[in-house]
Amino acid sequence: MPDLDASAVAKLLGEFGQRSALRGGNPYRARAYRRAAENLLALTTPLSDMIAQDRLHDIPGVGTAIAGIIRKLHATGSHPTLDAMRKEIPEGVLEMLTIPGLRPDKVAKIYKELGIASIEELEGAATEDRLKGVKGLGPALQSFRVSSCAGAVTDVGISIGRPPSSRPQRKICAPRIWDSSGSHRQEASDADANWSMT
Domain count, the chain: 2
- pLDDT (tens digit, 9 = 90+) per residue, 136-147? 776 666 555 555
pLDDT value, residue 2: 74
For position 18, which CATH number holds? Answer: 1.10.150.110
Nearest to 31 by CA among 13, 43, 47, 56: 13
- pLDDT (tens digit, 9 = 90+) per residue, 44-96? 999 999 999 999 999 999 999 999 999 999 999 999 999 999 999 999 999 98
Domain span at residue 54?
A: 6-87
pLDDT value, residue 144: 54
Domain check: are 83 and 48 in the same one?
Answer: yes
How many alpha carbons lie under 13 Å from residue 104 in its C-beta half-sphere?
20
Domain check: are 65 and 132 in the same one?
Answer: no
**Cα–chain center distance at 17:** 7
Domain check: are 105 and 78 in the same one?
Answer: no
Q: CA torsion 44→45→46→50, rounded to 10°?
A: -140
Domain check: are 28 and 112 in the same one?
Answer: no
- Sign for the pseudo-dihedral over CA of 51, 57, 58, 62: positive
Per-residue CA distances from 162 to 55, 106, 130, 187 (Å): 25, 23, 31, 25
Contact between 156 and 170 (Cβ < 8 Å): yes
128: part of which helix (H) or strand (E)? none
Q: Is residue 1 part of a domain?
A: no
pLDDT value, residue 167: 41
